[in-house]
Amino acid sequence: MVMLQPLPALAPKTTALKVVKVPSADPRSDAFAVLAQVPVMGGGSARLLNALPSAISALRANKGRSILTALGIIIGVAAVIAIVALGEGASASVASQLAGLGTNVLTIQPGSTQSGGASSGAGTGVTLKSTDADAVAAVAGVSAVSPVVSGNTQVIAGSQNWSTRIQAVLPAYLTINAWTIAQGAAFTTNDNTSSANVAVIGQTVATNLFPNGQSPIGQSIRIRNVPFTVIGVLTSKGSTAGPGGDQDDTIMIPFRTGQVRLFGATSINQIVLQVRDAAQIPTVTTSITTALSTLHKLSASAATDFRIQNNNDIITRVSSVSSTMTMLLGGVAAVSLVVGGIGIMNIMLVSVTERTREIGIRLAIGAQPTDVMSQFLIEAVLLSVLGGFVAILVGSGVALLMPYVAGWTTVLPWNAIALAFGVSGAIGVFFGIYPARKASLLDPITALRYE
């Protein structure tokens, strides 16, 4: 008889399950992961900050496209800064030259002469005399007066010679026209009364007559074979684009010396005067016209035989033209800002189309349309602001290099820099609204089906 032994109980076999952790996408580098996150509910500022990382990730995911898009803003803002800096520099240069003309200055010139019915032009007549200057000096509101007798002639100093403009003037002429002395001294009223043979020369004359660096002070020069002693050198004023040419190419001598000993003239070329207050210029001009018309025995209906020119009008006119040119050039450069803004809008529209499914997912899991709109609007503004910041560096660098590379005077316009940066941000908002709104209005079902 076989006894059956019971089989040992089999222990149940257990299988250990190995848990594998699937790494989650890094939200900082995956634009889709950030987009798919359930938005944090909260205030408007909190939701706006929540959209910022998503916008940055989207821009980083398409670096090349982002850089090319911002390039339009960079070129536009940099061009505006560089051109406005050039315009401001030109205005400053013109202003410094115009300042040398003096302020509140009136110039009286003789009228024109006629021969056979042909007019020779203003200033060719011989209607002004030194007695006219005395009459002008008596007009109320006039602070200084100087008659002027001038002419071009050859000047000799040792073995050197130079053709220049000789001006016989009173000491007040230097004050009226804002001339200062760089070396030596100016001639005085006593020098004019005694008809002294002394001269004050400009920088151009000093350079050409005394080329070896020797001091002109105390040196003898010959003007029309009349010996003069140089007692002063004028501070340089530079050249002007107008008929004045090189202002430093001149020699000034006492008025009586020039009128009697050098030119032997009974008439004068012009009368230069300064008015105490700019507001008095119209009244003073009328008074001078009346005084000279009476002195010249002109009837009330007769045309005047002299012409009065206001230097303030010239300064205002030239400054206005310079400012207009600066604004025009800045406006032309600003067109590229609009072009850059259109480029941003175009790229953002393309981005909305490419990310339609992502937008659908975010809307489907509870995102608000304003969240989507904020994201795309922030992307557009970031492109503009970053482009504007780079443009400030580029434009400022170009403006600072212009004087060394091209020799042009520039003035870095900080107000224009701030304005251009603000405009770049505004362009991002303006041209980013339409793509952002289009993205926020997408239907979630339609967006999820988009291929």
- DSSP string for 117-160: TEE--TT-S----HHHHHHHHTSTTEEEEEEEEEEEEEEEETTE
DSSP per-residue string spanning 216-279: -TT-EEEETTEEEEEEEEEPP--B-SSTT-BTTSEEEEEHHIIIIIIS--SS-SEEEEEES-GG
pLDDT band at 205 (very low <50, low <70, confident <90, very high): very high
Residue 241: per-residue pLDDT: 47
Q: Which residue has the higher pLDDT, 221 or 347?
A: 221
| 276-302 per-position pLDDT tens digit | 988 898 899 999 999 999 888 888 777
- The mean pLDDT value of the chain amounts to 79
pLDDT at position 316 is 74
**Rounded mean pLDDT, 223-250:** 82
* Banded pLDDT at 7 (limits 50, 70, 90): very low
pLDDT value, residue 57 = 77
pLDDT tens per residue across span 81-95: 888 888 888 777 777
Count of CB atoms situated within 10 Å of the CB of 34: 24
Q: What is the largest CA-CA distance in the chain?
A: 172
Q: What integer pLDDT is reported at residue 244 of this predicted model? A: 55
Q: Are the C-beta atoms of residues 201 and 216 closer than 8 Å to each other?
A: yes
Query: How high is the pLDDT of residue 163?
Result: 93
The mean pLDDT of 193-197, rounded to a whole number, is: 93
Other C-beta atoms closer than 10 Å to the C-beta of 4 total 5
**How many Cβ atoms sit within 10 Å of the Cβ of residue 418?**
11
Q: What share of the chain has pLDDT > 90, as a percent?
A: 28
Least confident of 10-14, 112-116, 397-401: 10-14
Q: Is 426 exposed, middle or buried (0-12, 13-18, 19+ CB in 10 A)?
A: middle
Spatial contact of 231 and 199, defined as CB atoms under 8 Å apart: yes
First-last CA distance in the chain: 80
